[in-house]
């Protein structure tokens, strides 16, 4: 059973290597670690904290906007 007081919902990027959205309850559940390979890192941190991560896969949230080319691709879509 999930603990309603402690939750982690994570939305990965399209490659499922980065984290594009992260919901933490409580907000200090863990210290976010964004950057390269943040998606598996956040999953490992959740497991270490004893929290079952909920993965939210969204085509909209999966699109990265890290580089100018990302904005160009988004505008062309």
The pLDDT value given to residue 64? 84
What is the arithmetic mean of pLDDT over 12-32?
96
Number of domains in the chain: 1
Give the bridge partners for 49, in sequence order. Answer: none
Question: Does residue 60 sit in helix, strand or coil?
Answer: helix
The pLDDT value given to residue 67? 83
- Residue range(s) defining the domain that contains residue 68: 7-76
Q: Which of 17, 41, 20, 21 is nearest to 30 (CA)?
A: 41
Strands in 19-25's sheet, in edge-to-edge order, are 19-25, 7-12, 53-55
In a domain, 60, yes or no: yes
pLDDT 10s digits, 30-72: 999 999 999 999 999 999 999 999 999 999 899 888 888 888 8
Residue scoring higher pLDDT (24 or 75): 24
Backbone angles phi, psi at 8, to 5 degrees: -140, 120
Burial of 39 (0-12, 13-18, 19+ CB in 10 A): buried
For residue 75, how far is the Cα from the chain centroid? 23
Q: Is it the case that residue 1 has pLDDT exceeding 70? A: no
In a domain, 52, yes or no: yes
Q: What pTM, to 2 d.p., does this model score?
A: 0.85
């Amino acid at each position: 059973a999930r603990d309603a007081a402690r939750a982690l919902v994570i939305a990965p990027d399209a490659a499922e290597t980065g984290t594009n959205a992260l919901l933490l309850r409580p907000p200090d559940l863990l210290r976010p670690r964004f950057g390269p390979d943040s998606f598996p890192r956040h999953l490992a941190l959740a497991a270490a904290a004893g929290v079952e991560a909920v993965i939210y896969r969204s085509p909209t949230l999966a699109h990265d906007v890290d580089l100018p080319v990302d904005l160009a691709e988004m505008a062309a879509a």
